[in-house]
Amino acid sequence: MASEFIIDVTEETFQADVVERSLQVPVIVDLWAEWCGPCKQLSPLLERLAQAGNGAWVLAKIDVDANPRIAELFGAQSIPTVVAIAGGQPVEAFAGAQPEPQVKQWIAALLDALRDRLPGISAAENGADPVEPEPELEDPRFTEAEAAFERGDYPVAEAAYQKILDAEPADEQAKAALAQVRFLARAEAADPSVIVRADTSPEDIDAQLAAADVELASQRVDQSFARLLSVIRRTAGTDRDRARTHLVELFALFPPEDPSVVKARRDLASALY
């Protein structure tokens, strides 16, 4: 059921179709596969609701068999998995086929939480055409960095964003992008079994940091933050500084007002002082 509100997304189009669109309205990502029985129940429901939403949100359908890197990016452990993206970042998710009333309630709560941040929601709800981003002149420095990011060349992308920050230390876009690149590079390189190693060897700081990355990539945000806070509370010196720095870097992946970040920042202050 392809339409302007329902799009098929690939690894090549993910940046434009998901990340950039999510600056105006939420993009709800449906991770599915042809062989998945529950997907055949959930996907048509999401398509129908997207059409009814009239542009207040966009449904991005992603075949995980054809686009495995995206599934890895979201840490999808089963399908169907549904992830809401806003402002370029994951904000909510659920897994498995859900009944229609529950899905409607989830979408309604999502729109309520994001209406003040994303201008396209109210525009669509009021019957106006969805707000389109103002055309901007492309900055070749960002173009280079984004191209490297999209092809998975994280060292080149990191160097490009760092070069921008060296020249303009206050550039928030470059700061956020650099944090995302560094996190994805670590998360993709981490072995998921590191969580077991971290749980059985609490003194292994490298394992604790890697386990926190894996948990965050798997949408277990609160567990990731709690792990690092635990390290901060029970260590001192260099180990404590490493865990604190790592936690603050993870905060940068989210909007400052994200409830999990707000709580973790408060807990961090308590742990430090």
Query: 84 has which bridge partners?
Result: 28, 92
**CB contact at 8 A, 198 and 226:** no
- Work out the pLDDT band at 35, boundaries 50, 70, 90: very high
Give me the chain's average pLDDT, please: 88
pLDDT in tens, 36-89: 989 999 999 999 999 999 899 999 999 999 998 888 888 888 899 999 999 888
250 — phi, psi (to 5°)?
-70, -35
DSSP symbols for 82-150 = EEEEETTEEEEEEES---HHHHHHHHHHHHHHHTTT-HHHHHHHTTSPPPPPPP-PPPHHHHHHHHHHH
pLDDT at 131 over 50: no
**Would you state the pLDDT for residue 222?**
93
- Residue 14 known to be catalytic: no
Q: Please give the pLDDT value at position 81.
A: 94
pTM: 0.50
Topology (CATH level 3) of domain 6-125? Glutaredoxin (3.40.30)
- For the stretch 183-198, pLDDT in tens is 888 888 888 889 999 9
The answer to whether 115 is a known catalytic residue is no
For the chain, the domains span 6-125, 138-179, 190-273
Q: Number of H helices and number of E strands within the chain?
A: 13, 5
CB neighbour list of residue 236: distance below 8 Å, 6 or more residues apart: none
The owner of tokens 């995302």 is 180
In the set 18, 39, 107, 177, the catalytic residue is 39
Closest CA relative to residue 46, chosen from 65, 31, 25: 31
The one catalytic residue in 7, 29, 36, 187 is 36
Mean pLDDT throughout 115-137?
71
pLDDT band at 213 (very low <50, low <70, confident <90, very high): very high
What percentage of residues in the chain have a pLDDT greater than 90? Answer: 48
